[in-house]
Amino acid sequence: MNELEGMNPSDLGIEMHRFAAEIYPICRSITGEGIRETFKQIQKLIPVQLHEVASGTKVFDWVVPREWNIRDAYIKDSTGARVVDFRQSNLHVVNYSVPVSARLLLSELKDRLFTLPEHPDWIPYRTAYYREDWGFCLSQNRLRQLQDAEYEVCIDSTLEDGRLTWAECFLPGASTEEVLISAHACHPSLANDNLSGLTVATFLARLLSGRALRYSYRFLFIPGTIGAIAWLARNREAAGRVRHGLVLTCVGDSGGFHYKKSRRGDAEIDRAAAHVLRHCGEPAEVLDFSPYGYDERQYCSPGFNLPVGCLMRSVWGTFPEYHTSADNLDFIHPEQMARSLRLCASIVDVLEKNKKYLNRNPYCEPQLGKRNLYRSTGGESIDVEVNARLWVLNLSDGEHSLLDIAERSGLPFAAIHDAAELLLESGLLAEAAESGSDG
Ligand code: ZN
């Protein structure tokens, strides 16, 4: 029993939000001290190992970029006042900007200033990862206040040979087959897109650690795109052991759940996630696979074709706060994060318990009454419990898994699993020999 199991959901949500708030101010990027510092904070909660690849290393069709670090950045007016200040928001600098020190007229600077005219108070989030460039992001209102005068522009950054870093938490289970949980960690102060996924993944690892697990679990905290590509390039064998996977992102806002299927479309994770969503009591939608989005793009590239889906609440790009300063700590909610964690735990539960059984009394129905199996154990209503037992007995022919039975009966997986446990105890059911991993 670990310390999270007995915690009430509201305390758990508050603790999750507090963790997100702690790492919110860090200026992360795909490389550099910010992402490493984030991993060190995660390391305080779960056992995490850092892995590094040198700049210039070829990973499939990509090359690990130089490492970016930043200390300060500003635009100063003629009085020396900072009219744009990195210290107030790390979104003010285009992420991966090369160092700059110059005096420029506003008219010369304008092409390098990015705003969101439709949301005049918000600062956009922009990157310049794979091209040498620089720029500033600011609110439209701030831009409007600037005079057409000369400004002092400074970006105190470095772009040098260094390392790309990612973090892994591995929880060994009875099987060497793995469940992959992946979250990107490369965005600076953005809460839903980045920190919510990191936080739910971290707490899921905490929740599972110390449990006797059927599968081994690998939690990856990685820079988006290049991190997943580097991990896949360096871990072909581990990738081959992935039986189920989830990318977690945007799981803290108040929107309903969205699960994007893996490229396979009918993998066990796709069915498990869809089933759990159907019974979760919140608005939920299942989306087909598409080759854009988050790191499922890499895991589901045709050479790997891993059974990895993506769990979100609001879908990236569809909410106005996406990639802006409005995706802040007020945009994510303790309760939503705790419920996202609970949903992930339910999906894991299905994966862990989804097995096939054999009815040992397949010629007509066994007489339940004489075995005291027409009673309620107090979990569900008596009708649901007895129905679940009849479904499990009828479909346990060694061909149907508990998830198959849950889907066909329309009953929640937990009710089907409870029935199977009871029937096992009574001797009416036996575990079928595992015939392979695709259940
Ligand atoms: Zn993003």
Distance CA 37, CA 69 (A): 12
Residue-wise pLDDT tens for the chain (439 aa)? Answer: 577 888 888 999 999 999 999 999 999 999 999 999 999 999 999 999 999 999 999 999 999 999 999 999 999 999 999 999 999 999 999 999 999 999 999 999 999 999 999 999 999 999 999 999 999 999 999 999 999 999 999 999 999 999 999 999 999 999 999 999 999 999 999 999 999 999 999 999 999 998 999 999 999 999 999 999 999 999 999 999 999 999 999 999 999 999 999 999 999 999 999 999 999 999 999 999 999 999 999 999 999 999 999 999 999 999 999 999 999 999 999 999 999 999 999 999 999 999 999 999 999 999 999 998 987 777 667 788 999 999 999 999 999 999 999 999 999 999 999 999 999 999 999 999 875 544 4
Cα 113 to middle of ligand 1, angstroms: 20
Torsion-angle region of 97 (φ positive above 0: left; ψ -120 to 50: alpha; else: beta): beta
- The class that CATH gives domain 9-65+163-352 is alpha beta
CATH superfamily placement of domain 67-160: Domain of unknown function DUF2172 (3.50.30.90)
- Nearest-CA neighbor of 101 among 29, 33, 157, 159? 157
Centre of ligand 1 from the C-alpha of residue 83, in Å: 26
**Per CATH, is 356-431 categorized as 3.40.1690.10?**
no
Ligand 1 centre distance from Cα of residue 125 (Å): 9
3-state secondary structure of 1: coil
Question: Tokens 């989306």 map to which residue?
Answer: 287
Q: Please give the distance, rounded to the nearest whole angstrom, from the Cα atom of residue 310 to the centre of ligand 1.
A: 14
**Contact in structure between 294 and 224 (CB atoms under 8 Å):** yes
Sign of CA dihedral 73, 77, 79, 83: negative
Its pTM stands at 0.96
Instruction: Quote the ligand 1 centre to 145 CA distance (angstroms).
Output: 29
Let me know: does 162 contact 66? Beta carbons within 8 Å. Answer: yes
- From ligand 1's centre to the CA of 352, what distance in Å? 31
Region(s) of the chain under CATH 1.10.10.10: 356-431
**39 vs 98, 320, 403, CA distance in Å?**
24, 29, 36
Intervals of CATH 3.50.30.90 along the chain? 67-160
Label residues 301-336 b or e (16+ Cβ within 10 Å = b): beeeebbbbbbbbbbbeebebbbbbbbbbebbbbbb
Where do you find CATH 3.40.630.10 in the chain? 9-65+163-352
> Counting Cβ atoms within 10 Å, is residue 260 exposed (0-12), middle (13-18) or buried (19+)?
buried
The Cα-based distances of 301 to 120, 266, 292, 397 in angstroms read 39, 16, 11, 36
